[in-house]
Amino acid sequence: MKQKVVRRAPQRDEEIPQKKRNWVVRVGIGILGFAVLISSLVPLLSIFDRGPQPVDTIGQALPQLEAAAKDNPKDAAILTLLGNSYYDLKRYPEAAATYTRALAIQPDEHNVRVDYGTALFYSGRTAEAKQAFEAVIAKNPDHLQAHLNLGVVLRSEGQLEAARTEWTKAQLLANDEASKQHLSELLNSLGAPTR
């Protein structure tokens, strides 16, 4: 059996060159600083989960997010998080306004624009919601949620065949059974196609 050659570690500080010791210390301090930063962000990171959140949890975090957005008005991630919180609390006009601020910083964030359109729709601003979804589809024709939501807006306007077209596109883009089933139910709710 062959033995691996193992390099012997220096036994005394003098054997480690000063330059290398400084580098090791700087890296160690950097890692420690990063760990402190991450540990301070952990409470906020839990909010990133867009799964169902208890309203009291969102309500408790809202003042902190509002303060963070005020302190960091150019931070699109914080603004998006704040918009998501307003949305989850059904404060749709505030969500739409906050998403507008996030999109001014990062205009090509398609998911944020879809959330913006949804907040507009629930605020009764269907024409603007429709424009938001169409803008996403123009830049990203494979955005399933934009097609699905545009179909909802079109159905609300009585444009059933246009809604059918959007939902059919979305169904072709869906890659999981739950989405396909949901879209199938939406399509069936429209009845038979008219010619």
Give CATH for domain 51-125.
1.25.40.10
Contacts of 118 (CB under 8 A, 6+ apart): 87, 129, 149
Could you report the per-residue pLDDT of 26-43, keeping only the tens digit for each? Answer: 555 555 555 544 444 444
Spatial contact of 123 and 108, defined as CB atoms under 8 Å apart: no
DSSP string, 111-178: HHHHHHHHHHHHTT-HHHHHHHHHHHHHH-TT-HHHHHHHHHHHHHTT-HHHHHHHHHHHHHH--SHH
Q: pLDDT tens digits, the chain, 195 residues: what are they? A: 444 433 343 444 444 445 544 555 555 555 555 554 444 444 444 444 455 555 567 778 888 889 999 999 999 999 999 999 999 999 999 999 999 999 999 999 999 999 999 999 999 999 999 999 999 999 999 999 999 999 999 999 999 999 999 999 999 999 999 999 999 999 999 988 876
C-alpha 91, offset from chain centre: 18
Domain borders along the chain are: 51-125, 141-195
Considering only CA atoms, which of 161, 179, 160 is closest in space to residue 170? 179
Average pLDDT, the chain: 80
Rounded to two decimals, what is the model's pTM?
A: 0.70
Spatial contact of 151 and 121, defined as CB atoms under 8 Å apart: no
In angstroms, the first-to-last Cα distance of the chain is 80
Cα Rg of the chain (Å, integer): 25
Could you report the per-residue pLDDT of 133-158, keeping only the tens digit for each? Answer: 999 999 999 999 999 999 999 999 99
Neighbours of 100 (CB within 10 A): 15
Q: With H, G, I as helix, E, B as strand and everything else as coil, classify residue 3.
A: coil
Contacts of 128 (CB under 8 A, 6+ apart): 117, 120
Spatial contact of 123 and 96, defined as CB atoms under 8 Å apart: yes
